[in-house]
Structure 1
Amino acid sequence: MCRWRDNKYHPVKVIERRKVPNAIPNDYEYYVHYIEFNRRLDEWVKLEQLDLNSVEAVVDEKVEEKGATGLKMTRHQKRKIDETHVEGHEELDAASLREHEEFTKVKNIATIELGRYEIETWYFSPFPPEYNDCLKLYFCEFCLNFMKRKEQLQRHMVSCA
């Protein structure tokens, strides 16, 4: 269970864990999927938001066959890949499609700031790897350049406006 924006606890599945940038050595964030909600509401949360008393051990029945990534896949995952396979991906083999799915399942940027608007992202954003540790990106509303820090944007705006 995880405390959501409404301050109520909802059932979640922890998808991934990462170290908090510039924090103490054992400080982690957890990427969770809210079981009751759409995938676009998945988010990174702090340990304090998780109710550790409600943790259940989930054991997936693994398929012995391994893909090109070396990760075992469940039947459900294989079925999901088959169902989501669309004609636009005929040049990709099944292993590449699985790798793409694995790479894009975690939302890497939580919000963007564009002018006076703060916009929540819904899905994975394909920014360069050096931006993956940013929870928020700042966009210039004139040229759409993006920066990691608000101070960078303010310096940029002096010459761009």
Structure 2
Amino acid sequence: MDTVERWPVESLVDGAKLGVRMTGDLEFREAEILSIRITPDRKYRFYVHYIDCNRRLDEWVGESALDLTNVRFPQKGGKAPKIQVDTSSNSHTSSPDREVPKKGSTRKRKVVGDASEVVKAEEAPVVPRPPSPFQADIKAPSQRGSMSIIGHSEDALTRIRNIEMIELGRYRIQPWYFSPYPQELTTLPCIYLCEFCLKFVKSSTCLKRHMMKCHLKHPPGNEIYRSDKLSFFEIDGRKNKTYAQNLCLLAKLFLDHKTLYYDTDPFLFYILTEQDDRGFHIVGYFSKEKESAEEYNVACILVLPPYQKKGYGRLLIEFSYELSKCEGKAGSPEKPLSDLGLLSYRSFWSQKIIEKLVQHRERCDDGDQLYLSVNDLSEETSIRKEDIISTLQVN
């Protein structure tokens, strides 16, 4: 019986593609290795992106999850990335490049130096990372949202989720994406956030100490709407700069293809909360520019994972359009939308259009004209005409 040849795990490099068994799945999926880490006990860990899947599914896996019988390596000649070696001191230094062993090789490669050394491997060049964690839009200096498209998606460092877990109130949440929290927090198993001011600390002890000093029981700013236990608070990014920046850092953990702005002054943030006997707990939010040349009514929108699939996304969208009605404008979210965002907006637009068409038909007598123009729909719903047209075309 022939033995199936396997690539040695030491031969794998960043950019290599192979079958990987996703956590909780029995079948192999094609995936790309984004980063390699060696644990203190000399075991390999691989951060992988599953091809044609959203990046929120990216994860660290061990050798047992890999199909080493069929590996596609990246083209040579690129810049060599670093393989991280976990040590108790979390120190990382550089070491010489390594060669890719041939398939079927069983010889163990010699380990040069101690466990704190970093081994390099070949990869295609990457775009240099901007120095500021709150970076401006690369293509233009104009600020189009509290977070804006373009920026980190081509940066190899920011493709890797850097925070393992956060604790926010009574929930522990696993982040989906990279967020530029301070480097010293990225080595911790969990970071802790005050659910009222969103300050981040490194331990539960630090959080308890902070809570003794923090007198907030709700987001700063003005409560502008309340219905039963739900409230909306309006936050001015200029008056509450620290809170706004902490909110953007938190949101970035769950929003892909977004780049943080350091300057939150031009933006308003609308925080949706649930109230109980302990205070007003953040559920989600949306932000908008105070003055938008494109008349966007939403820059970013997010419902935190513990509150998703409960109708809060629709509530945030509807509230943004109610604000547009108060301003006498037709609004639209900043484009492009995420996959989940597009689904939510399409659902909202479709339902609002159908509601208006049904209401119009009920108002019309038998002899009246039944048609309703796109302009009429836009005026009655405050939904921009382009969004109405695209929704009608899809449906």
1:58 matched to 2:73? The reply is: yes
What's the % identity of the aligned pairs?
34
Size of the aligned set, in residue pairs, is 136
SS in 2 for 1:157: helix
**Residues 53, 63 of structure 1: alpha-carbon distance in 2 compared, 3 angstrom cutoff:** closer
1:26 matched to 2:45? The reply is: no
RMSD: 3.6
Shift of 1:131: 1.4
SS in 1 for 2:45: strand
Residue from 59, 75, 99 that aligns with 1:43: 59
SS in 1 for 2:156: helix
Q: Which amino acid aligns with 2:159?
A: K
Residue from 149, 173, 177 that aligns with 1:123: 177
Of Structure 1 and Structure 2, the greater helix share is in 1
Residue from 155, 160, 178 that aligns with 1:106: 160
- Unaligned 5+ segments in structure 1 are 65-70, 79-84, 90-96
1:143 alignment counterpart: 197
Shift of 1:132: 1.9
- Unaligned 5+ segments in structure 2 are 1-18, 80-121, 128-137, 143-150, 216-395
Shift of 1:130: 0.8
SS in 2 for 1:130: helix
Deviations 1:28-76 (A, max 9, x none): 432111113112321223444x225345141326579xxxxxx8746xx
1:5 matched to 2:20? The reply is: no
**TM-score of the aligned structures, taking structure 2 as reference length:** 0.29
SS in 2 for 1:87: coil
Q: Which amino acid aligns with 1:11?
A: E
| Counterpart Cα distance in 1 of 2:69 and 2:141 | 41
| Counterpart Cα distance in 2 of 1:47 and 1:62 | 26
